[in-house]
């Protein structure tokens, strides 16, 4: 039976993302496909709702109880709006710790909704992040053998995501393997019926068509979880079933003014992007050890920024350090303490370059850093542009003045993304939704 079209006070789709960059990516994918989508930051009541709404939290590395609490607060707003489906969004590399937070947050949601089962679809086939026999791969490399094993906050040392999720969950965790997924959505639904005692199912996903299959299998489920890529296959199903009117044209304002890049990510991809940017632009590197020694590194960074802005130059400020020095600092001060120190420094710099120096185009690299910076700027809602490619999602904050943003995961984006994003921010976006050409088929 086809569900009723949502009324003004009823949401078609409500998502809870465990970080800001992931939330923006999800919103941008839905917008690119013509679905009116709003995004708010934090778990408070949003200023507005579209047909779909994304709550972007900062819960990925929060203590479990705090992550569950903020997820629950966001969920209550979705329940109040009678959301047809709730989506728990997490990273394609299933970023978590042995304690959570993916499992505990998913359990809190499924309990509140009174649902029976939920699929877990972390794959991002577009970047060759796939799941086979429950194991996560990045191209031909197992997750636990990739640089992700060295992540300073969520090191992934086990490639078996069924085992990872089970360690975090009270409910039984199973696998929908590729032989089932390859048979189509009906086969997936039939398989779930035969495994009624199992609540959570990791899904093998080798190709883009598998993402489409899993979206179709779960389109009517109260809860779906995964990376943004599986949710991107839902809009055609919504339009086909009359759940939303015809696709809406995409629009995002352009913003001019001084441009800057803030880098808080330690990912290898971000290092390559910073090196590319440094070939043509100025980069100020912050030594976190100096902050502990009492040096006023924020003031030094601001002097550098003032000079660059006065000369009309783009610039970057980075806290990235070689891995060996990061390891030593973490051993001395603690992993979370170092992360908090970096976020506090870059947040302070962000406030000063935006409010005092007039920066109006800002790129921030690093999911956790992005969340801290946006909160420091007092931003609670964003206008999100359409998805372009992995790691590239523009947005505009409209309070207290237009501020163009590109907030990216450390692991994504091409080598020249910093400069190209800052240039692109000047141009308004006005285009028809991309119904057929994206996501890629395969």
Query: According to the model, what pLDDT value does residue 369 have?
Result: 87
Mean pLDDT of 230-246: 94
Do the bridges between strand 381-384 and strand 37-41 make them parallel or antiparallel, or are there none, so unpaired? Answer: antiparallel
Are the C-beta atoms of residues 315 and 305 closer than 8 Å to each other? yes
Report the percentage of the chain scoring pLDDT > 90. Answer: 75
What sign does the dihedral 113-118-123-126 (CA atoms) show?
Answer: negative
Mean pLDDT of 249-274: 91
Report the percentage of the chain scoring pLDDT > 70. Answer: 95
Query: How would you class 341 by CB atoms within 10 Å of its CB: exposed for 0-12, middle for 13-18, buried for 19 or more?
Result: middle
Q: What is the mean pLDDT of the chain?
A: 91
CA 37/CA 48 separation, integer angstroms: 10
Backbone angles phi, psi at 393, to 5 degrees: -140, 110
Query: According to the model, what pLDDT value does residue 440 have?
Result: 57
Residues 6+ apart with CB under 8 A from 339: 61, 152, 153, 368
3-state secondary structure the chain: CCCCCCCCCCCCEEEEECCHHHHHHHHHHHHHCCCCEEEEECCCCCCCCCCEEEEECCCCCCCHHHHHHHHHHHHHHHHHCCCCEEEEECCCCCCCECCECHHHHHHHHHHHHCCCCEEEECCEHHHCEEEECCEEEECCEEHHHCHHHHCCCCCCCCCEHHHHHHHHCCCCEEEECHHHHCCCHHHHHHHHHHCCCCCEEEECECCHHHHHHHHHHHCCCCEEEECHHHHCCCHHHHHHCCCCCCCCCEEECCCCCCEEEEECCCCHHHHHHHHHHHCCCEEEECCHHHHHCCCCHHHHHHHHHHHHHHCCCCEEEECCCCHHHHHHHHHHHCHHHHHHHHHHHHHHHHHHHHHHCCCCEEEEECHHHHHHHHHHCCCCEEEECCCCECCECEEEECCCCCEEEEEECCCCCCCCHHHHHHHHCCCCEEECCCCCCCCCCC
Instruction: Take residue 272 and report the two structure tokens written for it.
Output: 């390559």
Mean pLDDT of 166-173: 97
pLDDT, tens digit, for every residue of 194-221?
998 999 999 999 999 999 999 999 999 9
Q: Is the pLDDT of residue 327 over 60?
A: yes
Global confidence as pTM: 0.89
Query: According to the model, what pLDDT value does residue 438 have?
Result: 55
Strand order in the sheet with 129-132: 129-132, 135-138, 141-142
pLDDT, tens digit, for every residue of 330-376?
777 777 777 788 889 999 999 999 999 999 999 999 878 888 899 99
171-175, 217-221, 265-269, 277-281: which range is least confident on average?
Answer: 265-269
Query: According to the model, what pLDDT value does residue 145 have?
Result: 95
pLDDT, tens digit, for every residue of 73-98?
999 999 999 999 999 999 999 999 88
pLDDT, tens digit, for every residue of 302-325?
999 999 999 999 999 998 666 677
Q: Is the pLDDT of residue 100 over 50?
A: yes
Catalogue all structural domains in the chain, each as residue range(s) with its CATH number.
Answer: 13-247 (3.40.50.10840), 251-431 (3.40.980.20)
pLDDT, tens digit, for every residue of 3-20?
333 444 689 999 999 999
């Amino acid at each position: 039976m086809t569900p009723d079209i949502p009324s003004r006070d009823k949401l078609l789709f409500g998502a809870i993302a465990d970080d800001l960059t992931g939330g923006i990516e999800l919103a941008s994918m839905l917008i690119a496909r013509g679905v009116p989508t709003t995004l708010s930051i934090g778990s408070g009541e949003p200023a507005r709702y579209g047909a779909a709404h994304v709550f972007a939290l900062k819960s990925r590395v929060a203590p479990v109880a705090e992550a569950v609490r903020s997820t629950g607060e966001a969920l209550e707003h979705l329940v109040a709006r009678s959301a047809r489906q709730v989506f728990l969004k997490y990273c394609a590399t299933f970023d978590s710790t042995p304690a959570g937070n993916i499992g505990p947050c998913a359990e809190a949601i499924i309990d509140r909704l009174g649902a029976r089962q939920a699929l877990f679809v972390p794959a991002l086939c577009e970047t060759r992040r796939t799941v086979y026999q429950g194991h996560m791969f990045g191209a031909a490399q197992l997750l636990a053998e990739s640089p992700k094993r060295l992540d300073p906050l969520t090191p992934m040392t086990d490639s078996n995501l069924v085992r990872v999720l089970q360690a975090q969950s009270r409910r039984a965790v199973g696998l929908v393997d590729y032989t089932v997924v390859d048979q189509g959505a009906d086969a997936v639904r039939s398989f779930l019926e035969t495994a009624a005692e199992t609540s959570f199912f990791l899904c093998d996903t080798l190709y883009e068509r598998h993402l489409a299959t899993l979206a179709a299998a779960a389109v009517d489920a109260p809860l779906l979880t995964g990376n943004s890529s599986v949710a991107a296959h839902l809009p055609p199903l919504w339009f086909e079933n009359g759940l939303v009117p015809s696709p809406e044209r995409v629009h995002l304002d352009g913003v001019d003014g001084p441009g800057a890049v803030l880098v808080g990510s330690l990912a290898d991809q971000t290092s390559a992007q910073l090196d590319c940017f440094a070939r043509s632009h100025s980069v100020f590197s912050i030594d976190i050890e100096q902050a502990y020694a009492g040096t006023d590194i924020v003031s030094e960074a601001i002097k550098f920024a003032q000079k660059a802005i006065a000369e009309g130059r783009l610039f970057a400020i980075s806290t990235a350090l070689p891995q060996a020095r990061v390891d030593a600092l973490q051993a001395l001060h603690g992993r979370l303490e170092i992360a908090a120190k970096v976020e506090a420094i870059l947040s302070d710099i962000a406030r000063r370059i935006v409010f005092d120096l007039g920066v109006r185009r800002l790129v921030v690299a690093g999911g956790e850093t992005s969340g801290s910076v946006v909160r420091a700027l007092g931003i609670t809602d964003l206008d999100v542009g359409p998805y372009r490619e992995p790691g590239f999602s523009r947005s505009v904050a409209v309070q207290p003045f237009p501020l163009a943003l590109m907030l990216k995961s450390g692991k994504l984006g091409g080598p020249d993304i910093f400069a190209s994003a800052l240039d692109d921010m000047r141009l308004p976006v006005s285009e028809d939704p991309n119904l057929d050409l994206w996501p890629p088929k395969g």
